[in-house]
Structure 1
Amino acid sequence: MVFKRLMGCNVEDLIRWLPEALGSYYEHSMLDIDGLLYRDTPKPLIRLIGKTKPDHQVSLLRIPQLEINIEISDLVHDDIKTIIHRFDLYTRRGGG
């Protein structure tokens, strides 16, 4: 299954959040942003593939943006639902 997210963060933020956001599945994950491999594992269950987007600007505030595709394979529906729920809880800081 593939899930898409547009996130208001930079690459460093995402790297810092991932261990907690993925929990025990972190060890089975791969992260590729703009063609740069930041994390890899043989036969990953979770592949996060992203692209940096232009900053979103509101008045004087600039918010970095990452477009992320989360590809999850070889897991049952309940596990996938749990992973995405946890990921969203840890990465959607503003609750929006």
Structure 2
Amino acid sequence: MQSRYEERFERDMGCTEAEWLGWLPAAVGACTWHREGAHAVIEVPPGRLVLSWAQQPPRVIALMRMPVLRVNFAFSGLDAEQRYAFMKRFDLYMQRGGG
């Protein structure tokens, strides 16, 4: 996991869109948010985070196939400390098999 979060970055998540959408409400906590197709706008006072995602071809390792969801993060109106505080919780709730 990163300890410093830029205003914009991209990640590949090992999940389907359905799984991602199931985890998203807990990951954003008390922040208000709304979804618009493959985008979500999350109000993170004093700013916001816009997420966009797209399913990618699965990763194949021997006989294992893992789904890949490419997620773009775009913060606005938040400094580095505020982005870190939000992402610390977000990452904890998005972890698979641990946390």
Matched-pair contact (CA < 8 Å) for 1:31–1:49 = no
Q: How big is the alpha-carbon RMSD for the aligned residues of Structure 1 and Structure 2?
A: 2.5
**Percent of aligned positions that are identical:** 30
> Which residue in the other structure is 1:63 paired with?
66
**Higher helix fraction (1 or 2):** 1
Q: Shift of the alpha carbon at 1:85?
A: 1.5
What SS does structure 2 have at the residue aligned with 1:45? strand
The separation in 1 between residues aligned to 2:25 and 2:71, in whole angstroms, is: 16
Assess, with a 3 A threshold, how the Cα gap between structure 1 residues 64 and 72 changes in structure 2: closer, same or farther.
Answer: same
What SS does structure 1 have at the residue aligned with 2:30? helix
Output the amino acid matched with 1:9.
C
Aligned mate of 2:17, from 8, 11, 15:
11
The separation in 2 between residues aligned to 1:84 and 1:3, in whole angstroms, is: 12
TM-score under structure 1 normalisation?
0.75
Matched-pair contact (CA < 8 Å) for 2:41–2:48 = no
Matched-pair contact (CA < 8 Å) for 1:56–1:65 = yes
The separation in 2 between residues aligned to 1:58 and 1:40, in whole angstroms, is: 34
Structure 1 position 24 matched with structure 2 position 30: yes
Assess, with a 3 A threshold, how the Cα gap between structure 1 residues 82 and 31 changes in structure 2: closer, same or farther.
Answer: farther
Aligned length: 89
TM-score under structure 2 normalisation?
0.73
Q: Shift of the alpha carbon at 1:82?
A: 1.1
Structure 1 portions without partners, runs of 5+ = none
> Which residue in the other structure is 1:45 paired with?
48
Aligned mate of 1:72, from 66, 75, 86:
75
The separation in 2 between residues aligned to 1:71 and 1:32, in whole angstroms, is: 16
